[in-house]
Amino acid sequence: MRENIREPAFDLLKYFFTSKSTFSFKLGFSNINRDRKFNSRRFRFLPRGFDGIDRSAGPETLYASENITPSRFEINEDTRPTDFYVASQDITAGYALGDYTKGKFRFIGGVRIEKGKQEVSTLDAFSLEPIPTVAKLDNTDLLPSISGVYNFTSTFSLRTGYSQTVSRPQFRELSPFEFSDITGGRATIGNPNLKRARIRNFDVRGEWLKGSNLFSVGFFYKKLISPIEIVVEPTTALRTSFRNALGAENKGLEFEFRQTLASISSRLASLSINTNYTFVSSNIRIGEQDLSVVTSKERPLAGQSRHLFNTAIDYDHTNLQINTRLIFNYTGARISDVGTFTLPDIVEKGYPTLDLLFNKQFGKKEGRWEVKLSGENLLNRLVRFKVLDQPFQVYRRGRSFSLGVSYTFF
């Protein structure tokens, strides 16, 4: 695969001050231009004989170069007509944003205009006159954004906001190129008929802030038009693809709590805890043309959990130049693949993770060493998928660790 990405952008910001208010105005332009050329080649090892070969040996021994002969193994090309595609994306956007503050009130409003073009052409690289399968998206979107904050007291404020965004499919989601996951082995194929998804967001939140301590409770509502879902197709071996639903609605409550432990003891002043819990009610809307395709007519949006919880414990000691963070996350059960043509949905069970980040600095700002250590998924719990309450797939993602050392000269 070869890909080129270009992202030119510029911003212009102007401030206006009066004795009782502040206003800023911002104009901007951005462009994201990507082009990709992708090809895949497939080969099959065909056994012709096993003279002198230990068939119990591992792949690195069985398929050694000395065994690739007409009397042992032959290599045959099995590349498919859909294993090559060229793709391009060009997103040009301009925006204007105003920020007005007066007394206890702050208002931020703006609009963004996006012109998005995306094209993926899949064709047979070995054909002299290939007929490409073309996926093409060409959309212009007007995306407003409005938010406001009112500080009722020095410790309590109310925030509200509304915005519109879009979500575009990836290149490989638009190509009928079929690939298989390394873990699980299930094939996945793109869908050239995908559309971009449009999202409308609304939220309101109350915040109680005292020093660096925070408690907030909020309500949010999200309306999705043509959301992209992962679906499972009843081929000879189960195959995954992508499909636009008619729409979906997500709404729920979010609670956040942040507390330093200095109020308990001065010895704990370097410790703080940050906890967040989100409850989501999700409902999908199925188009008439899909009523005979999808199996579940009433369900949440694929990939959306009902319960999300995370908490982080931070230790930040300025004198010792140490920063440590322990992060726990829990993602509740969710539909991973939508069932089609009577196949049931595949559900991923709830899954906890635990990550650790450690950072230690040595020396002053000029001429300073820094050591970073991280460990991800320390619990390494089983990832479980089920179909109709029966086990479908079970595996472990594994733990990962990294160590980095850097030196700052100035």
Assess whether pLDDT exceeds 90 at residue 114.
Answer: yes
- 378, burial (CB in 10 Å: exposed 0-12, middle 13-18, buried 19+): middle
Instruction: Name the phi and psi angles at 262, rounded to 5.
Output: -65, -30
The predicted model gives 71-83 an average pLDDT of 85
Residue ranges covered by each domain of the chain: 2-43+82-408, 44-78
Q: What is the pTM of this model?
A: 0.86
The pLDDT score that the predictor gives to residue 93 is 98
Distance CA 151, CA 38 (A): 53
Assess whether pLDDT exceeds 80 at residue 52.
Answer: no
Is the pLDDT higher at 183 or at 197? 197
Q: Which one-letter amino acid corresponds to residue 351?
A: Y
Helix (H, G, I), strand (E, B) or coil at 67: helix
Six-digit token pair at 162? 């509304």
Q: How far is CA 203 from the centre of its chain?
A: 21
Helix (H, G, I), strand (E, B) or coil at 53: coil
The predicted model gives 54-70 an average pLDDT of 76
Distance CA 190, CA 226 (A): 16
User: pLDDT band at 400, cuts 50/70/90?
Assistant: very high
The predicted model gives 347-374 an average pLDDT of 90
The pLDDT score that the predictor gives to residue 166 is 97
Distance CA 38, CA 83 (A): 8
Assess whether pLDDT exceeds 90 at residue 383.
Answer: yes
Beta strands 334-339 and 228-233: pairing type?
Answer: parallel
Domain at 2-43+82-408, CATH from 3.10.290.10, 1.20.1050.10, 2.60.120.560, 2.40.170.20? 2.40.170.20
Assess whether pLDDT exceeds 70 at residue 160.
Answer: yes
Go through 326-339 and write b for each residue having 16 or more CB atoms within 10 A of its CB, e for each that does not: bbbbebbbbbbbbb
User: pLDDT band at 256, cuts 50/70/90?
Assistant: very high
The predicted model gives 216-237 an average pLDDT of 92
Assess whether pLDDT exceeds 80 at residue 97.
Answer: yes
pLDDT digits (tens, 9 = 90+) for 281-290: 999 999 888 8
**Weakest-pLDDT range from 67-71, 372-376, 384-388, 399-403:** 67-71
The pLDDT score that the predictor gives to residue 376 is 97
Assess whether pLDDT exceeds 70 at residue 370.
Answer: yes
Distance CA 92, CA 112 (A): 10
The pLDDT score that the predictor gives to residue 367 is 65
DSSP 62-122: HT-GGG-STTSEEEEE---TTSEEEEEEEEEEEEEEEEEEETTEEEEEEEEEEEEEEEEEE
Which residue's structure tokens are 């694929």? Answer: 302
